[in-house]
Structure 1
Amino acid sequence: MNDFSKISPIRNKYLKNSKPVSTLVEISKTVKE
C-alpha cells in the first residue's frame, strides 16, 4: 500500500481516457502449514 503513490501516476499515464476498475491488495502475513 505504501507504493500506491508510485503506481497511480504510471497508471494514469498509460490509461488516460480509459481507466478500468482496479484493486490493490496487500498481504502482510500468510498461514504456514
Structure 2
Amino acid sequence: MNLISFIFVIAACLSARDGGDWGWWVFFAILASD
C-alpha cells in the first residue's frame, strides 16, 4: 500500500464517520494501490 491509497483509506474513514459516501474512497484506494 502506498501513501496515496493510505490517504484515500483515511478519507473513507472520515467520510463513513460523517455518514458520507465512503465506498468511492475505498474504490479509489484500491485503484491507487495497484
Normalised by the size of structure 2, how large is the TM-score?
0.36
Normalised by the size of structure 1, how large is the TM-score?
0.36
Going by fraction, where is helix more abundant, 1 or 2?
A: 2
